[in-house]
Amino acid sequence: MITPSVSTFAANLTTEVAFDVLAIARKLKAAGKDVVELQIGDSPFPTPAHANAAGKAAIDGGQSHYCPSLGLPEFRAAAAKFVRDEFGIPATAENVVVGPGAKVFETYFCELFLEPGDEVLLFSPTFATYVPNVLRRGGVPVFASLKEENAFRPNPTDVEQFLKTAKRPKAIFLNSPHNPTGGVATGDDLKAIADLIRGKNIALLSDEPYCHMVWQGRHQSILAESGMMGQCVGAYTFSKSYSMSGWRLGFAVGSPDVVQLIGKMVNSSLSCVPPIVQLAGKAALENDAAERDAVMAKFQKKVEVLVRELEQVPGVSVTMPVGTFYVFPNVTPICQRLGITSHGLAMYLLEGADDNVGVACLGGECFGDAGCGFLRFSCAEPDDRLVKAVHFFRDAVTKTERVETYLVANPKYRLN
């Protein structure tokens, strides 16, 4: 049998490691291991009531056929009103296009703006799917490190340097609130970045899935800055704010011309987002703000619990994230003492620390070199399980013989 050769891109494609660890965790759980799952950014809370009811009503009403690739007109209008009212973005329905979550807009953004050889500024640690989407178009990733001492905020100076030194600067990926660090760009940060790129041939993707998970102040979007609707694409999802990750619903905001082009990409790749899903999302936007905000308050308390517990672990330094439901502790002293990489430490907690119990989390290097020496914990379990996970972590890193046994079996995780 002859197998056609695959492309270089496909052969070297990387994935979001959270889903890889999820698969391992679920396999271990199926075999009887008690795994505390803090590896993936999913909500432990149910979909809001009005969204569920509208989804069911849409099924009963026969809303199970094709709809416009750009999205249902009524959903687009509701999404525009949402970003206008919540974030001051001057959007109408013509500025909105619907997608299955926010992640797909990374692909469409790169297809829309990049030619091979164009350079793209990414802030590292960076969300895992940014790089493969840039590479898919032959783009060149350029990294700027987010600093712990700057609360993991994007530094406008890095943008200025990119514009001055890159041979073919074309695009910027901005993620605030930031996954995995929990850093949040301030209004001054956003204004400075907008001032640097305004009027230049630079496109910016503003990835905003955690727009309701800001624990100090309120979320701000660069699309609200003067002139930025013409240069930016904002990406939003229902997965976090409305606990609708399995519904696969999101939308993008941009200029009408950009929205029309993305609509063509939707048309030629997935036809449309199911109307049932869009009608559930419309109901969430219009009726579930109170339930959403109550859940966000619960998330904040969960983050505080996790931070408080991690503060008690020797060798760990951690601060309260400004946003998101992730905690990003610095575990460099533990890694150096044990001779293990931070993702090796994460996998040891899952696979090797105990035969009957495990904790699933991610090593910071899953998000780029700037994440080395950190762990990312999500808050996607009940509070008592969060506490159990940290107590398990505290004890597991004292078992030096088990760590060495794990490293012998998995030498790729040995710290060089």
pLDDT digits (tens, 9 = 90+) for 298-343: 999 999 999 999 999 999 999 999 999 999 999 999 999 999 999 9
pLDDT at 93: 98
How far is the C-alpha of 413 from the C-alpha of 37, rounded, in Å? 21
Tell me: do 266 and 320 sit in the same domain. no
pLDDT at 387: 97
pLDDT in tens, 195-244: 999 999 999 999 999 999 999 999 999 999 999 999 999 999 999 999 99
20 located within any domain: yes
Tell me: do 146 and 262 sit in the same domain. yes
pLDDT at 388: 97
The C-alpha R_g of the chain, in whole angstroms, comes to 22
Residue 7 has pLDDT above 90, yes or no: no
pLDDT in tens, 111-152: 999 999 999 999 999 999 999 999 999 999 999 999 999 999
Q: How many Cβ atoms sit within 10 Å of the Cβ of residue 205?
A: 27
Whichever domain contains 219, its CATH number is: 3.40.640.10
pLDDT in tens, 247-274: 999 999 999 999 999 999 999 999 999 9
User: What's the domain range around 343?
Assistant: 8-46+291-404
How far is the C-alpha of 23 from the C-alpha of 21, rounded, in Å? 5
198 located within any domain: yes
Tell me: do 80 and 134 sit in the same domain. yes
pLDDT at 112: 97
Tell me: do 278 and 296 sit in the same domain. no
User: Per the omega criterion (within 30 degrees of 0), is the bond before 169 cis?
Assistant: no
Tell me: do 302 and 384 sit in the same domain. yes
CA atoms within 13 Å, Cβ hemisphere of 140: 11
CB 126 within 8 A of CB 143: yes
Whichever domain contains 331, its CATH number is: 3.90.1150.10
Please name which of 120, 74, 129 lies closest in space to residue 101, comparing C-alpha atoms. Answer: 129
Tell me: do 79 and 41 sit in the same domain. no
CB 7 within 8 A of CB 330: no
CA torsion angle for 288, 291, 292, 294 (degrees, to 10)?
Answer: 160
Tell me: do 262 and 137 sit in the same domain. yes
User: Which residue among 225, 259, 287 closes a domain?
Assistant: 287
385 located within any domain: yes
- Kind and range of the H or E element at 347? helix 342-347
| 416 confidence band (pLDDT: 50, 70, 90) | confident
Tell me: do 114 and 185 sit in the same domain. yes
152 located within any domain: yes
Please name which of 188, 281, 289 lies closest in space to residue 238, comparing C-alpha atoms. Answer: 281
pLDDT at 9: 83
Tell me: do 36 and 59 sit in the same domain. no
How far is the C-alpha of 79 from the C-alpha of 208, rounded, in Å? 14
34 located within any domain: yes
56 located within any domain: yes
3 located within any domain: no
Tell me: do 159 and 281 sit in the same domain. yes
User: Which residue among 263, 287, 311 closes a domain?
Assistant: 287
416 located within any domain: no
Tell me: do 111 and 195 sit in the same domain. yes
Tell me: do 74 and 26 sit in the same domain. no
Question: How far from 327 is each of 155, 202, 362, CA to CA, in Å?
Answer: 21, 32, 11
* End-to-end CA gap in the chain: 42
Residue with tokens 């790129």: 197
Report how many domains make up the chain.
2
User: Which residue among 287, 311, 328 closes a domain?
Assistant: 287
